[in-house]
């Protein structure tokens, strides 16, 4: 069975590149080199800590911002500009369009993260002049960040399939922020009583559990990551993204184009 | 080539569309009453109607871009939602817009992939189409730098790119200069020569008149008449319009079955050509001053206007037979 998913994905990637999305890498490089030079006077241990913490946090935040800003327009902009007319009147099923868009965006972010990762390692080498075994933990943190992007992309696409870009951005950012504090939400749920307990538990289940994906602080201190967490996060991210994408498809399948 | 079984290219079986309009309090707006229409294989079919008649709505329904309130359709003998149908049809939307970060060539390349044009054929097809729509010289320019007419040409190009059996054009001539219109006309003729079916909407009647085997006239979401251009216009063929001063209508003229309209100080009568001399004689006898005698233009335009005026005044349904 032939599918148009790869074509749609690569066109989405091409659009992002032509819209100069990758220029964010310049800002990222400036930020990182600035930080590396600034803390260059203190002890090596603290320098490493700063570079890893700051570098990986920036990788995650830059990526989330890009994911949301591109993601929210992926469907609604195509409906608004009517570029979809000549796509959906071809042998392209609506679900293929959504899935293709998702992979295009996820691909863009992966490429972007790849370049940023090179930057982080370069900065690390600049401050400590060598790599140690524990630095490999950075790959785990980057992997978790990419899993996080998959969730954010799927959510942005979900919102994009039924609301305007502005509202979608608000929804997606709120979910990202709440998701980043989902551990606090869980703690609150376990302490609360009655209705608020139910509400908090429900919310904690629905919002993406980004707390579990943030291992930056612990790997900066060279603490290992449990294999079980890697497995758990992988499954969670895939499941969550699949659910959000299914939602997007369900909504989009039955939608009248403008 | 072995003869294929003859079947209609398009069968519209009571497609109906009601939009919900308004933000807070939704009101229904019926854009298309149950529409029945049949387009035969190999014909150029014109879909005529004034602004807001429901032409675009019909095309969007057929393309699966919007969903009908009720009814269905068959295209090339299959259910219209069947993805297999989509590989064999081309669609030019009204005022088309495309990914503006792509060049004309890249866009066609992308669309050829989506339509499943085999890799080996792609290059050749794209070259050919770019030549056909006159965009060869600008194929490397990003579409954001294209004018309206150039976009229209891209739109036509992408519709015929994958060599479809049936094309749907929503106002193909709009935005084009006289040369461009001419070229599009020729292109449609050529598609017909190749055995393709062309279904296009327009309100430019002369184009329809020159091109179409048959037309349908649609007004307020309802088909008023379907037929060959000649058949439709024969009802106003061979008539003359006589205008004279005053407000008096001689009884002898009334007796000829003239259709008279009295304005401020003129009378306008429409009647059969053969009574022309009798009318002039009558006017002379009554000493009425003749202003003009002109043959009524037996064009689709006239027919169209008459038909719509009639529809407005009776406001009832005059669903015509095919
Ligand atoms: N998305 C929509 N929501 C509400 N009403 C709509 C929508 N699209 C079209 N309509 C209404 O449906 C009717 C038919 O519109 P349509 O666009 O099909 O007309 P048309 O025949 O293509 O006209 P034109 O010649 O101006 O292109 C119009 O009254 C229009 O107001
Ligand atoms: Mg229209």
Condensed to tens digits (0 to 9), the pLDDT of residues B106-153 reads: 999 999 999 999 999 999 999 999 999 999 999 999 999 999 999 999
Domains of chain B, residue spans = 10-230, 239-295
Residue B66 beta carbon below 6 angstroms from any ligand 1 atom: no
The confidence band for A206, taking pLDDT boundaries of 50, 70 and 90, is confident
Contact B158 A91 (CB under 8 A): no
Q: What is the mean pLDDT of chain B?
A: 88
Higher pLDDT: B275 or B107? It is B107
For residue B185 and ligand 1, the question of a CB distance below 6 A is answered with no
Torsion of CA B271, B204, B134, B86, to 10 degrees: -120
Tokens of A74: 């992926």
Residues whose CB is less than 8 angstroms from the CB of residue A195 and which lie 6 or more positions away in sequence, other chains included:
none
The yes-or-no verdict on residue B88 having pLDDT over 60 is: yes
The β-bridge partners of B19 are B29
- Contacts of residue A82 in chain B, CB cutoff 8 Å? 93, 96-97
Q: Which residues contact A236 (CB under 8 A, 6 or more apart)?
A: A209, A212
- For residue B170, give the 3-state DSSP assignment: strand
HSE (CB half, 13 Å, CA atoms) of A7?
23
pTM value is 0.85
State whether residue A48 is helix, strand or coil: helix
**Any ligand 1 atom below 6 A from CB of B202:** no
Paired tokens of A37: 């030079």
Asked if pLDDT for residue A174 goes beyond 80, the answer is yes
Residue B298 has pLDDT above 60, yes or no: no
* Most confident stretch, A50-64, B97-111, B228-242: B97-111
- State residue A201's pLDDT score: 85
Residue B315, pLDDT score: 57
Helices A94-128 and A137-160 meet at what angle, rounded to 10? 150
More confident residue, B96 or B2: B96
CATH 3.30.70 fits B239-295, yes or no: yes
3 state SS of A191: helix
| Whole-number pLDDT of residue B236 | 59
Predicted local distance difference test score (pLDDT) of residue A187: 85
What's the confidence (pLDDT) of residue B322?
33
For residue range B29-79, list pLDDT tens digits in order. Answer: 999 999 999 999 999 999 998 889 999 999 999 999 999 999 999 999 999
Distances (CA, A) of A101 to A78, A212, B209: 11, 26, 44
d(CA B221, CA B57): 9
From the CB of residue B184, how many other CB atoms can be counted at a distance below 10 Å?
22
Asked if A79 and B60 touch (Cβ cutoff 8 Å), the reply is no
**What CA–CA distances, in Å, run from B35 to A255, B80, B198?**
22, 15, 19
pLDDT for residue A1:
53
Backbone torsions φ then ψ of B27, nearest 5 degrees:
-120, 145
Per residue in A10-24, pLDDT (tens digit) is 999 999 999 888 888
The ligand whose atoms approach the alpha carbon of B21 most closely is: 1
| B67 closest CB neighbour out of A11, A18, A254 | A254
Top CATH class of B10-230 equals alpha beta
> To the nearest whole number, what is the mean pLDDT of chain A?
90
């Amino acid at each position: 069975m032939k599918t148009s998913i790869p074509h749609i994905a690569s066109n989405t990637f091409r659009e992002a590149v032509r819209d100069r999305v990758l220029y964010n890498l310049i800002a990222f490089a400036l930020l990182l080199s600035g930080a590396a030079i600034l803390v260059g006077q203190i002890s090596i241990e603290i320098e490493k800590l700063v570079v890893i913490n700051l570098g990986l946090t920036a990788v995650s935040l830059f990526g989330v911002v890009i994911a949301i800003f591109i993601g929210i327009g992926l469907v609604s902009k195509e409906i608004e500009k009517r570029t979809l007319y000549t796509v959906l009147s071809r042998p392209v099923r609506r679900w293929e369009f959504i899935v293709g868009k998702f992979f295009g965006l996820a691909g863009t972010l992966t490429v972007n993260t790849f370049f940023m990762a090179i930057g982080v390692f370069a900065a690390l080498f600049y401050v400590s002049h060598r790599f140690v075994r524990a630095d490999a933990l950075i790959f785990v943190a980057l992997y978790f960040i990419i899993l996080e992007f998959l969730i954010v992309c799927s959510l942005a696409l979900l919102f994009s399939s039924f609301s305007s870009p502005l509202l979608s951005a608000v929804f997606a950012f709120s979910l990202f922020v709440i998701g980043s504090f989902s551990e606090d939400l869980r703690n609150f749920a376990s302490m609360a009583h009655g209705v608020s307990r139910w509400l908090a538990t429900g919310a904690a289940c629905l919002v993406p559990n980004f707390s579990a994906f943030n291992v930056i602080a612990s790997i900066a201190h060279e603490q290992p990551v449990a294999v079980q967490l890697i497995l758990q996060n992988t499954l969670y991210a895939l499941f969550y993204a699949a659910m959000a994408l299914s939602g997007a498809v369900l909504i989009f399948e039955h939608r009248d184009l403008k | 080539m072995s003869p294929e079984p003859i079947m209609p290219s398009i069968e519209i079986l009571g497609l109906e569309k009601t939009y919900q309009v308004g933000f807070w309090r939704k009101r229904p707006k019926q854009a298309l009453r149950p529409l029945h229409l049949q387009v035969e294989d190999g014909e150029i079919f014109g879909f005529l109607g004034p602004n807001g008649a429901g032409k675009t709505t019909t095309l969007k329904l057929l393309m699966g871009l919007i969903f009908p309130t009720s009814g269905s359709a068959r295209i090339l003998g299959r259910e219209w939602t069947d993805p297999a149908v989509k590989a064999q049809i081309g669609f030019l939307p009204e005022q088309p817009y495309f990914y503006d970060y792509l060049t004309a060539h890249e866009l066609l390349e992308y669309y050829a992939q989506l339509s499943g044009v085999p890799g080996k054929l792609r290059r050749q097809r794209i070259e050919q189409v770019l030549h056909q729509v006159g965009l060869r010289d600008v194929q490397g320019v990003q579409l954001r730098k294209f004018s309206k007419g150039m976009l229209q040409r891209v739109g036509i190009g992408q519709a015929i790119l994958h060599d479809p059996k049936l094309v749907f054009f929503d106002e193909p001539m709009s935005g084009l200069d006289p040369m461009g219109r001419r070229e599009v006309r020729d292109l449609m003729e050529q598609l017909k020569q190749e055995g393709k079916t062309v279904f296009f909407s327009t309100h430019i009647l002369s184009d329809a008149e020159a091109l179409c085997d048959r037309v349908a006239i649609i007004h307020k979401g309802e088909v008023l008449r379907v037929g060959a251009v000649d058949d439709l216009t024969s009802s106003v063929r061979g008539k003359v319009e006589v205008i004279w001063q005053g407000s008096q209508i001689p009884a002898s003229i009334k007796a000829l079955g003239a259709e008279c309209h009295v304005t401020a100080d003129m009378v306008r009568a429409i009647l059969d050509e053969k009574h022309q001399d009798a009318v002039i004689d009558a006017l002379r006898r009554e000493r009425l001053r003749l202003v003009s005698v002109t043959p009524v233009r037996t064009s689709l335009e006239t027919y169209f206007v008459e038909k719509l005026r009639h529809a407005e005044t009776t406001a009832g349904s005059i669903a015509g037979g095919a």
